[in-house]
Each structure stands twice: as structure tokens, then as C-alpha cells.
Amino acid sequence: MRFFLTLGILFFANLASADWTISDNSPAQDPKSPLIYERKQVSKNGQSGFFSAKRIDLIWFHSSTHTFRVIDNGPANAPKYSDIVTAMKRNECIAGTNGGFFLKNHAPSGLMIANGTSTGRFGQGSLLSGVVLSSGNRNPYLLRRSEYGEKFKPTDLLQTGPFLVDQGTTVRGLSGENSRRRSFILHDGDDWFGLGLSDSFTLAELGEILAHKDFSPSRSIHRALNLDGGTSSGFYVERGGRAEPVHVEPFKTVRNFLGITTRDPE
């Protein structure tokens, strides 16, 4: 019975994977670089037309050289930063996205720690099921809520959710409604972490795509965690040299940003 159940799970997982065609449109770059920018083009099989192909941007970093930084943007009536580019540059971040969910009064939903200052409280629920943090401005982590504890001693932390991928597999029960722009966090299960921004997908679709065998052959997706999407979604990558920055501005004022910054020396 267990054997046939396993076969059934694998069958439906493969069937979902077969729904997508993924191509890599990433620019040429040094594969030994501690930061890797990637661009994917994704389309659903059977669909055609100008809007059928959608884009996903990723920035990967190696945890030996870079880590996460949470940037508090303050209250809505007096934001600290005019845009995502200013927020990143003033906080010495070379890339970043919008951050986690926030309430109507612009307070963070769940716990936020920015540069050692805590705001909000550790919460429950699917939208707070994950924790991204930097411990001592050194080690980055992407954890389930149950895995987090005082031993991590974070200087920067955000609660957000839900998980899209865990253990390399699409998380079950993700919503198939409300297609919208998405931002998210990635971990390959080893030394590489990343941030991403997608065109409009449902949570279930994005979970399928990120777990697809063709999505990221060089750095497999072990875990992917959703950030605040829709009109909150933003993305910035300073590519250096003559390359133009990648810049997508959130449509509304967000409470926080999640940046990538150089690690402090050991």
C-alpha cells in the first residue's frame, strides 16, 4: 500500500512539473563569483501569446562572503527611504527585495529585528511559518518557525510565509488562487542563499516552478519562502561595471526591506 502511495505522489509531482517550460536567459558571468544573477523565462505548456511567457529574476549569494540585512522603513506616514534603491545603498546592500507582511497600521506582522532592534512579536499562522535571519552579521539562515530558538542570537530577522518549497519538494496545500507578482527567499540546502522576484503566479504555481528539475540545475532549490507579494513586491540588484542595475519598485510603501550585504570579517 505504501509503495503504491509513493508511486502516486511521484506521478502527480511529475505531472505538475510537466506543466512548465523553463528557459535560462541569464547574462554571462563568472561562475566563481560570490554573487550570481539569473533570469528565467517560464511558460505553461499549451498557452501561447505575448503574455504567456513570464519572467523570474534571482540573485544568489555565497554565505561565506555575504548575508541578509533587514532594513526597517518606519511608519507609512514617515518612511525612512523614498525607494528600494535608496534603502539598499544607504544600508550598504548590493541587492534586495521588499520584506515581510505588515498590518494596516504599518506595524510588522510577526517579529522583525533590524540592526539588533526588535519590533513586533514572534507570531503564528501560515504567513509567519518561516524565519529568515542573520546571526551576528555573519551566518544567514532560512528556518521553519519551529526550528528557531534563542541560540541563533540574530541581529536581523523577519518572519514571513508560507513556504513554497521544502526539502526540494513543492509544499502541499498552497493556494491556487490570486495570481500576483511574488518575491521570495531561496536556500540550496548548503552554502548558497538567494532572493527572487517573479511575474504574476499563484502560490501553488510558483511552488511547482521553483521545485521543477529544470528551474535551477546548478543550484537546486532546497527551500523557498514567500515574502509579501503583489503591490509590495520590489527587487534591486546592483550588477556593477557597465551592466544596468535590475530595478523593480514596489507600488506601495512597505514596512521593511530584505537586503544582501557583505559579511563582517570573522
Specify the pLDDT at position 243.
86
Rounded alpha-carbon distances, angstroms, from residue 9 to 15, 215, 257: 10, 20, 37
Q: Give the model confidence (pLDDT) of 203-230 as tens digits.
A: 999 999 999 999 998 899 999 999 999 9
* Structural domain span for residue 57: 2-262
Determine contact, residues 234/84, Cβ cutoff 8 Å: yes
Residue 11 phi, psi dihedral angles, 5° rounding: -60, -50
Determine contact, residues 56/42, Cβ cutoff 8 Å: yes
The SS3 assignment for 207 reads helix
Q: Is the pLDDT of residue 15 over 70?
A: no
Q: How confident is the model at residue 32 (pLDDT cuts 50, 70, 90)?
A: confident
List Cβ neighbours of 107 (8 Å cut-off, separation of 6 or more).
119, 120, 255
The SS3 assignment for 115 reads coil
What is the distance between the alpha carbons of residues 245 and 213, in angstroms, rounded to a whole number?
Answer: 29
Comparison of pLDDT for 5 and 17, the residue scoring more? 17
Percent with pLDDT over 90 in the chain = 79
Specify the pLDDT at position 49.
58
Average pLDDT over residues 165-194: 97
What is the distance between the alpha carbons of residues 111 and 102, in angstroms, rounded to a whole number?
Answer: 10
Q: How confident is the model at residue 248 (pLDDT cuts 50, 70, 90)?
A: very high
Q: Give the model confidence (pLDDT) of 58-113 as tens digits.
A: 999 999 999 999 999 999 899 999 999 999 999 999 999 999 999 999 999 999 99
The tally of domains found in the chain comes to 1
List Cβ neighbours of 125 (8 Å cut-off, separation of 6 or more).
161
The SS3 assignment for 237 reads strand
Rounded alpha-carbon distances, angstroms, from residue 229 to 106, 161, 206: 15, 11, 12
- Residue 202: exposed, middle, or buried by beta-carbon count in 10 A (0-12, 13-18, 19+)? middle
Least confident of 26-30, 123-127, 223-227: 26-30
List Cβ neighbours of 7 (8 Å cut-off, separation of 6 or more).
none
